Amino acid sequence: MKMNLPNQLTIARIIITPFFLAALLWEALPHRFLIATAIYAVGAITDAVDGHLARKNGQVTNFGKLLDPIADKILTTSALLAFMTMGLCNIWIVMIVLAREFAVASVRMIAAADGVVIPANKWGKAKTVSQMTFTIIIMLLCEADYIAVTSFSKELFAAANTWFTLPHISNLLLWITAALTVVSGAIYLKDSKNVIFTNQQTAHCYNRKLHFDILFRTFSGIM
């Protein structure tokens, strides 16, 4: 079976993640932040395009509903981990984001076991968009920092950034993302609980009806 274009774009977002990390963390690469930004922007664009195409062309699938948020998490979380190694992201931000992602993934697994696919809600998308936007801003600031340091006096540039450094700006933006992460996660878990509970009740009623039908037919056969 041929995979449709939206799902191909989603998978492409996963594939480019290692290339993004390699560019971002390769210190010997000139203008690595600019290159990493370009790769990351391509991933962000695929995130916007795949869902739009799926809805427009009637190609929405359960596979796509499950894979799209996973691809988002792989790309965005990799950036957070890279920022943490670079001293641009507080470890508590990473912990909050990862805890939310594990919780949501667990709920999706429980729902899938009951035959229910729960897509990302608008709050989750808002969190993803803000995280991607802030990540791009941070990398562009890193590129500006690189250009300034290599083109001008290091001492002069360091004096100008005594009070409000790049790590300060980066952590401020990412704490906003962390706050949205908590809000979106809480709303997702609340909504998912209602969906799973309703589905389990429906399944329980169906099983009771099925058992009653079997007993009735058995009893009718004996009579």
CA dihedral 97, 45, 129, 92 (to 10 degrees): 20
- Cα 164 to Cα 179: distance, rounded to the nearest angstrom: 22
Residues making up the chain, counted from first to last: 223
Q: Beta-carbon neighbour count of residue 173 at 10 Å?
A: 19
- Cα 83 to Cα 87: distance, rounded to the nearest angstrom: 6
To the query of whether residue 145 is one of the catalytic residues in this protein, the response is no
DSSP letters, 60-115, are --HHHHHHHHHHHHHHHHHHHHHHHHTT-S-HHHHHHHHHHHHHHHHHHHHHHHTT
Q: Beta-carbon neighbour count of residue 163 at 10 Å?
A: 6
Residue of 50, 72, 145, 191 with catalytic role: 72
Q: Beta-carbon neighbour count of residue 94 at 10 Å?
A: 17
Residues labelled catalytic: 72
